[in-house]
Amino acid sequence: YLMGVGTPADLVEAVSRGVDMFDCVMPTRNARNGHLFTSEGVVRIRQSQYKNDIQPLDPNCDCYTCQNYTRAYLHHLDKAREILGAHLNTVHNLHYYQHLMNALRLAITEQRLTHFRLNG
């Protein structure tokens, strides 16, 4: 059991050291603050560069948020302080973390955790 860590890199490192249970608020807290984890790194949706961006948040993600909303709409919701924005961001970040943990479990099962840790 490991408490208080939360970045995806921290979780990968902890799993590689044998940790199998976490207590982490990062996906939800970061979502509420407009910091979204994606396959290409963290997106800070409040930044003006997303104001007119009609791409999905993460084109490689199959969560409800990415399948139904654009970066521009998420930017608008965040700037307007609409609770729906925090909700959709949370849906995405939790999905991202669940996907990461599923990938880690599969890497362990297939005995390729070291490769996963080094190459993602």
For 6-19, write each residue's pLDDT tens digit: 899 999 999 999 99
Judging by beta carbons within 10 Å of its beta carbon (0-12, 13-18, 19+), is residue 68 exposed, middle or buried?
A: exposed
Q: What total number of domains does the chain contain?
A: 1
How far apart, in whole angstroms, are the C-alpha atoms of residue 87 and residue 81? 11
> Which tens digit of pLDDT belongs to each residue from 42-83?
999 999 999 999 999 999 999 999 999 999 999 999 999 999
pLDDT confidence bin for 5, thresholds 50/70/90: confident
Domain that holds residue 61: 2-119
Q: What percent of the chain has pLDDT over 90?
A: 88
Beta bridge partners of 99: none
How far apart, in whole angstroms, are the C-alpha atoms of residue 97 and residue 41? 13
